Amino acid sequence: MKRRPSCHTDYGTDAQFCTKDGARLMAAGDPAPNVCAAAPHAAAGGEMPTDSAMVGRVLDGRYLVEKKVGEGGMSFVYLATELGTRQPRAIKILSAALSQDSSAMAQLKRQAGLGMRLAHPNVCHIIRVGETEDGLVYVVMPFVEGELLSDRNNRVGHVPLDETVRLVQGMAAGLHVAHELNIVHRDLKPENVMVYERPDGTEWPVVMDFGRAKGRRAGPELQRLTATGVIMGTAEFMGPEQLRGKPLDARTDIYSLSLLTYEMLTSRLPFQGPTPQELMISRLRSDPIPLRKMRPDLDFPEAVERVFNEAMARNPDERPGTTLDLANGLAAGAGDGRGVGPMGQGFGR
């Protein structure tokens, strides 16, 4: 089932938007764990360790498991303390079935190879991959407790322009460092961004789940997938070139970031259609609904609308050159003179 969170109206699984106001629907069900911890997904099955078996254990002589903070069909997420640094860490324990799945483990190794290069304040990166004494694979990541951007958007409705600028600057900084390493996220969406509260009370984002990311030296399995035109990503936030199965680069993430930002400001998407197929076709053939036409009641500056028109250009060559250009253009259009550099404004290490 799909649901419009603000009014709790249920729709069928094929529905994409609310028939009353055009807002994007969310899948009904339990929310995802509110910690920064992403790893490969797979079908259900496999024995999982009990809490009593894990809490108090020291993994690899370095990570003291403190308590369980989340779970899914194939994994449990624990809060741990790294003994040497006393830093909190998220430990994701994978099920026996997933740990023994060679395809899933190959994906994990590729993800880990990328993630270990993405040590940036605005990115949830993999610190290491290990194995317990009883053969279960675990993934170590920074522990960041917060709220998924998708849940936050649904909770607050449209996000004020100044708050949006601040959040986009953080996301842009993390993505820019990935792009400098020739890594493209390829599945940027609100469900893959965690928002947490810093000690000073401000909210800052962490981009998660680079599981579909592609580096310049992608493995042969991923190269075969992309070479044969298999589309990887989420339909609502894909760029036109991604929908067509064309080669991707940083400008694809720029397009997705602009869609994500547009939704934050308006609580809606600039392209609409009753089915995923029609939604994709509208992205390929139609211009986006202008920001100020979508929400004339919010009185956005014309300069902000121009930023979106450029960032959502169907031709990648017409988009901003970097995510930092997009974020700084948005800040300038909003009258916020604060620019953002590659290190952003993220959480402390």
Q: What percent of the chain has pLDDT over 90?
A: 43
Q: Are residues 130 and 192 in the same domain?
A: no
Asked if residue 240 lies in contact with residue 248, where contact means CB atoms within 8 angstroms, the answer is no
Structural tokens at position 339 = 């620019």
Tell me, yes or no, whether 40 lies in a domain: no
> Is there a single domain that holds both residue 157 and residue 127?
no
What is the rounded end-to-end Cα distance, in angstroms, of the chain?
Answer: 39
DSSP letter assigned to residue 190: G
CB 190 within 8 A of CB 42: no
Ranked by mean pLDDT, the top range of 14-28, 34-48, 314-328 is 314-328
E strands within the chain? 2-4, 9-11, 26-27, 58-59, 63-71, 75-82, 88-94, 128-131, 137-142, 147-148, 193-197, 203-207
Neighbours of 220 (CB within 10 A): 7
User: CATH code at 121?
Assistant: 3.30.200.20
User: Cβ(145)–Cβ(35) under 8 Å?
Assistant: yes
**203 and 88 within one domain:** no
For residues 241-266, give the mean pLDDT: 94
Tell me the CB-side half-sphere exposure of residue 57, using CA atoms within 13 A.
17
Same domain, 89 and 158: no
User: Looking at the structure, do residues 156 and 269 belong to the same domain, yes or no?
Assistant: yes
191: nearest Cα among 148, 144, 254, 141: 148
Residue 269, pLDDT above cutoff 60: yes
For residues 147 and 240, the answer to whether their CB atoms sit within 8 Å is: no
Phi, psi of 135 (to 5 degrees): 85, 15
Residues 276 and 188 reside in one and the same domain: yes
Question: Quick one: 98 exposed, middle or buried, by C-beta within 10 A (0-12, 13-18, 19+)?
Answer: buried
**In 3D, which of 73, 76, 42 has the Cα closest to residue 59?**
76
Residues 84/60, Cβ–Cβ less than 8 Å = no
Same domain, 182 and 225: yes
**179 and 220 both lie in a single domain:** yes
Residue written as tokens 């993220």?
346
User: Which pTM was predicted?
Assistant: 0.77
Q: Is residue 38 part of a domain?
A: no
Residue 53: band (very low, low, confident or very high) from pLDDT cuts 50, 70, 90? confident
pLDDT tens by residue, 143-173: 988 999 999 999 998 899 999 999 999 999 9
CATH number at residue 285: 1.10.510.10
pLDDT top residue among 99 and 254: 254
- Asked which of 80-94, 169-183, 274-288 is least confident by mean pLDDT, the reply is 274-288
Contact (Cβ atoms closer than 8 angstroms) between residue 208 and residue 190: no
Burial class (CB in 10 A: 0-12, 13-18, 19+), 292: middle
Could you give the percent of the chain with pLDDT greater than 70?
Answer: 74
Predicted pLDDT at 348:
34
The parent domain of residue 174 ranges over 147-333
Question: Does the pLDDT of residue 32 top 50, yes or no?
Answer: no
Confidence class for position 89, pLDDT limits 50, 70, 90: very high
Length of the chain: 349
Active site residues: 187
**Listed residue (244, 231, 217, 124) closest to 186, CA to CA:** 231
Q: Are strands 26-27 and 147-148 parallel, antiparallel or unpaired?
A: unpaired
| CA separation for the pair 265, 136 (Å, rounded) | 43
Whether residue 112 lies inside any domain: the answer is yes
Nearest to 158 by CA among 294, 269, 265: 265
Question: Could you tell me if 203 and 232 lie in one domain?
Answer: yes
Q: Whole-angstrom Cα distance, residue 261 to residue 171?
A: 10
Mean pLDDT value of segment 57-86: 90
* pLDDT tens per residue across span 202-232: 888 999 887 566 654 444 333 333 333 334 4
Closest Cα to residue 129, out of 109, 114, 99?
109
pLDDT digits (tens, 9 = 90+) for 284-312: 898 999 999 999 999 999 999 999 999 99
Q: Report pLDDT for 26.
A: 61
Run of H or E residues at 255: helix 250-266
- 150 and 197 Cβ atoms separated by less than 8 Å: no
Average pLDDT, the chain: 80
Name the residue type at position 36: C
- Provide the pLDDT for residue 343: 55
Judging by DSSP bridges, how do beta strands 63-71 and 2-4 pair with one another? unpaired
Q: Which has more pLDDT, 232 or 349?
A: 232
pLDDT range class, residue 47, cuts 50, 70, 90: low
Number of domains in the chain: 3
Does residue 239 sit in the same domain as residue 163? yes
Q: pLDDT class for 46, splitting at 50, 70, 90?
A: very low
Question: End of a domain among 95, 127, 142?
Answer: 142
